[in-house]
Chain A
Amino acid sequence: AQKVTQAQTEISVVEKEDVTLDCVYETRDTTYYLFWYKQPPSGELVFLIRRNSFDEQNEISGRYSWNFQKSTSSFNFTITASQVVDSAVYFCALMRVNFGNEKLTFGTGTRLTIIP
Chain B
Amino acid sequence: GAVVSQHPSRVICKSGTSVKIECRSLDFQATTMFWYRQFPKKSLMLMATSNEGSKATYEQGVEKDKFLINHASLTLSTLTVTSAHPEDSSFYICSARQDGDTQYFGPGTRLTVL
Shortest CB distance A32–B (Å): 10
Contact A50 B49 (CB under 8 A): no
Please count how many residues in chain B sit with their CB below 8 Å of the partner chain's CB atoms.
22
Contact A106 B43 (CB under 8 A): yes
Take A91-B44, A103-B46 as given contacts and tell me if A44 and B101 are in contact as well, using a CB distance cutoff of 8 Å: no
Cα A44 to Cα B49 in complex, Å, equals: 19
Q: Contacting A45 at CB < 8 Å: which of B42, B46, B93?
A: B93
Say whether B80 faces chain A, with CB atoms less than 8 Å apart.
no
Residues of A within 8 A of B110 (CB): 43
Contact A44 B106 (CB under 8 A): yes
Contact B105 A44 (CB under 8 A): yes
Residues of A within 8 A of B58 (CB): none
Contact B43 A91 (CB under 8 A): yes
Per-residue B-contact encoding for A19-60, CB less than 8 Å = 1, 0 else: 000000000000001010100001111110010000000000
Interface centre among A44, A45, A91 (most CB of B within 10 A): A45
Chain B: residues with CB nearer than 8 A to chain A?
2, 32, 34, 41-44, 46, 49, 91, 93, 95, 97, 101-108, 110
